[in-house]
Amino acid sequence: MPQTTSATGALRSSSVLVTGATGKLGREVVDRLRAQDARIRALSRRPAGALPGVEPLAGDLTEPTTVRTALEGINTVLLLWPLLDAAPAYGLVEELTTTAPRVIYLSSTAVDDTAARQSDPIVQVHADMETMLRDAGLRPVVLRSDTLASNARGWAAQVRAGDVVTGPDIARTAVIDERDVADAALALLCAHQDDELDDAPRLLTGPEVLSRADQVDRLGAALGRPLRFETVPADVARTRMLADGRPEQLVDALIAASQHRPESRRVTDHVERLTGHPATSFEQWATDHAADFS
């Protein structure tokens, strides 16, 4: 993978569509784009309040009319697909093929290019989306991200209530700060349209492979409290997540990931090669977000 610089000059004449713009990662990208001279269109189901330099657009990526409107005058798209099924994306891909913007797709490092089927529904939909975009001739730039550190925010209520975090365990991975993913996305959004970017996925990881117990321990250190993680059986975890109001399809996908996704010991330098700075540790993320758990 050739080094990509984070120079921002290319954005001055660009128009960028960010999908999932009010999600935890989408917001990070929009905030970074606002510091540039790009025209920004932010698509989400429920747009946040107006921001200077950002054109909010309410809609769904499965609605052809919305997609057509969102792509008008756009030359670069950061695509975050929100569903656990790639089939509803066919209309979106048709519109992308018609308008032919540069597409940067956020995928998962858990995708196994040698496997006929992926480990769980979350990884499968990413693999299917990558294939669909490539088969349409769009030549997407694929950013495969490891587990986001921001997922730990799901433990906030338990941390406020006591010193034990419970949940289904999941294989260890190199957990990555979502701010690093946003920085990497910005670097690619800033690349000149005629830059020679190869088709190899960029594999974004944190600097250290961590279990959930490791993450909880480091979170406790940042909070100055002794926290520990306790694994609960899948059926118990499923019941609790459904009681919390999570959609059943998402809960089943999360349980499948906890049961079937293999451990990954991969640690790459792609964050640094794209952004110019090393990947942020989970300890630093926890320190920076300690207020979220208080």
User: What residues contact residue 124 under an 8 Å CB cut-off, 6+ apart?
Assistant: 117, 118
Burial 68-91 (b: 16+ CB within 10 A, else e): eebbeebbbbbbbbeeeebeebeb
Per-residue pLDDT of the chain (294 residues; tens, 9 = 90+): 544 444 444 555 579 999 999 888 999 999 999 988 788 999 998 877 677 889 999 999 999 999 999 999 999 999 999 999 999 999 999 999 999 999 999 999 999 999 999 999 999 999 999 999 999 999 999 999 999 999 999 999 999 999 999 999 999 999 999 999 999 999 999 876 555 566 799 999 999 999 999 999 999 999 999 999 999 999 999 999 999 899 999 999 999 999 999 999 999 999 999 999 999 999 999 999 999 999
- Domain locations along the chain: 9-146+178-204+267-279
What is the CATH class of 9-146+178-204+267-279? alpha beta
- Report pTM: 0.92
Question: CA–CA separation, 79 vs 61, rounded Å?
Answer: 10
> CA 145, CA 126: separation in Å to the nearest integer?
11
Report which secondary-structure segment, H or E, holds 86: none
